[in-house]
Amino acid sequence: MSTLLSDTPGNEELQDQPQGAPCDLPPEAHSDLEFSRRTFVKAAGILSAGVASGLPRVAAAEKARIAATTAPQTVSLTLKINGKQQALTVDTRTTLLDALREYLGLTGTKKGCDHGQCGACTVLIDGHRVNSCLTLAAVAQGAEITTIEGLAHGDELHPVQAAFLEHDGFQCGYCTPGQICSAVALLEECRRGDLSTVSWQTGQTTSPQLSEQEIRERMSGNICRCAAYPNIVAAVRAAAQGARS
Partner 1 sequence: MNPFHYQRAAAPEEAIHAVAATRGAKFLGGGTNLIDLMKYDVERPTTLVDINHLSFTQITASPDGTTTIGAGVRNSDLANHQIIRTSYPLLSQAILSGASAQLRNMATTGGNLMQRTRCFYFNDTAYTECNKRNPGSGCAALKGFNRIHAILGASAGASSETASCIATNPSDMSVALAALNATIHVQGLKGKRAIHIGDFHLLPGSTPHIETALKPDELITSVELPPSKFARNSYYLKVRDRQSYAFALVSVAAGLELDGKTIKSAGLALGGVAAKPWRSADAEKALVGAPATADTFRQAAELAVAGAKTYQYNAFKVELAKTSIVRALTVAAQGVLA
Residue 109 CB, nearest distance to partner 1 (Å)? 13
Binding window for partner 1 (CB under 8 A); candidates: 13-21, 103-111, 152-160, 196-204? 196-204
Looking at the Cβ atoms of 153 and 192, the one nearer to partner 1 is 192
Integer Cα distance of 57 and 109 in angstroms:
44
Site for partner 1 in 30-59 (CB under 8 A): 48, 51-52, 55, 57-58
Looking at the Cβ atoms of 107 and 141, the one nearer to partner 1 is 141
Looking at the Cβ atoms of 30 and 195, the one nearer to partner 1 is 195
Going by C-beta distance under 8 Å and a sequence separation of 6 or more, which residues neighbour residue 205?
195, 199
8 lines the binding site for partner 1 (CB under 8 A):
no
Which of 3, 69, 85, 245 forms a contact with partner 1 (CB under 8 A)? 69
Which of 194, 211, 237, 242 forms a contact with partner 1 (CB under 8 A)? 194
Integer Cα distance of 157 and 70 in angstroms:
46
Count other Cβ atoms within 10 Å, centred on residue 30: 14
- Of 198, 219, 190, 216, residue with least CA distance to 119: 219
Strand runs labelled E in the chain: 74-81, 84-91, 122-125, 128-131, 144-146
> Distances in Å between the alpha carbon of 87 and those of 77, 103, 129, 138, 141?
6, 10, 23, 12, 10
Integer Cα distance of 117 and 243 in angstroms:
28
Site for partner 1 in 83-122 (CB under 8 A): 91-93, 95, 114-116, 119, 122
Going by C-beta distance under 8 Å and a sequence separation of 6 or more, which residues neighbour residue 186?
129, 215, 218, 219, 236
Residue 239 CB, nearest distance to partner 1 (Å)? 16
Give me the residues that bind partner 1 (CB under 8 A), please.
48, 51-52, 55, 57-58, 61-62, 65-66, 68-73, 75, 91-93, 95, 114-116, 119, 122, 128-131, 134-136, 138-139, 142, 182, 185-186, 189, 193-197, 199-206, 216-218, 220-222
